[in-house]
């Protein structure tokens, strides 16, 4: 009775943002994440979204493969910085 996959989708005008996309390790590669993403994008599209965005760590090969298969592409990269003494 615990969730297998989760995400948060935010609709803002023409945009849909996907956050916190995650699938339980034992349930990966079974289509749960894909189905959630497609459902969230449909929800946002029905409310007026025409484009979607998300952020993913560059080393998350499985997620990158999934997102590319859904039509997402890299737009830019960023990284966090902190003071050496922090």
**Has residue 2 got a pLDDT over 90?**
no
Check residue 48 and give its pLDDT.
97
Query: pTM of the predicted model, to two decimals?
Result: 0.87
Q: What is the pLDDT averaged over residues 1-21? A: 95
pLDDT in tens, 48-83: 999 999 999 999 999 999 999 999 999 999 888 888
3-class DSSP state of 5: strand
Check residue 80 and give its pLDDT.
85
CA dihedral (64, 66, 70, 71) in degrees, to 10, reads: 20
Check residue 79 and give its pLDDT.
85
Residues 6+ apart with CB under 8 A from 41: 9, 16, 49, 52
Q: Class for domain 5-69, per CATH?
A: alpha beta
Alpha helices by DSSP H, listed for 1-86, are: 32-46, 61-69
Domain ranges of the chain: 5-69
Measure the N-to-C terminal CA separation of the chain; round to a whole number of Å.
41
- Distance (Å, whole) CA 52 – CA 77: 17
């Amino acid at each position: 009775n615990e969730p297998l996959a989760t995400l948060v989708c935010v609709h803002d005008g023409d945009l849909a943002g996907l956050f916190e996309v995650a699938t339980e390790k034992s349930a990966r590669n079974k289509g749960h994440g894909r189905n959630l993403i497609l459902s969230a994008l449909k929800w946002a599209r029905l409310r007026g979204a025409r484009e979607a965005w998300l952020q993913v760590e560059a080393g998350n090969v499985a997620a990158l493969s999934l997102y590319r298969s859904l039509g997402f592409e890299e737009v830019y990269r960023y990284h966090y910085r902190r003071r050496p003494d922090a």
